[in-house]
Amino acid sequence: MFVVRTDLPEEERNALAEKVRGWIENQVGGEVEEFTRWGIRKLAYRTQKGKFTDGDYTYIIYNAEPEKINQLDELFKVNQQIFRFQTIRREDLEKKVRKTQKKTKIKVEEPEVTEEI
């Protein structure tokens, strides 16, 4: 999820959201599963010396290699238009993957062959 300044025109905010999608897919090598624009919402508190009281929120669910997440965080940090961002690791999906892996690891035993004379 990231929050963009609301003093920018709406077209710029939309373009920035698509730019972030491009960062995830092209530079980070991730796959975007869900991309939702929440729009302008009031912040819980003022940010950056009381300058902003609301922000334009975008929520993204994506898959990427863990070591690439820091690269995306750096892209967020250097962009002056994005003033808040948060990346959360979804452990519920991890548990689901581990559970399916356990099911596939079940061994099939070969039947014993006995010879009768």
Please count the structural domains in the chain. 1
User: Looking at residue 9, which CATH number applies to its domain?
Assistant: 3.30.70.60
Band of residue 19 on the pLDDT scale cut at 50, 70, 90: very high
Position 108 pLDDT exceeds 60: no
The better pLDDT of the pair 40, 102 is held by 40
**Is residue 77, in this structure, part of any structural domain at all?**
yes
**Is residue 44, in this structure, part of any structural domain at all?**
yes
The pair of three-digit structure tokens given for residue 54, joined into one six-digit string = 């609301």
- At 105, phi and psi to the nearest 5? -85, 0
* 56 membership: H or E segment, kind and range: strand 52-63
What is the per-residue burial (b if ≥16 Cβ within 10 Å, else e) of 32-45?
Answer: eeeeeeeeeeeeee
The better pLDDT of the pair 100, 8 is held by 8
**Is residue 95, in this structure, part of any structural domain at all?**
no
**Is residue 25, in this structure, part of any structural domain at all?**
yes
Global pTM reads: 0.69
Position 57 pLDDT exceeds 80: yes
Range of the domain at 20: 2-89
Average pLDDT over residues 64-71: 86
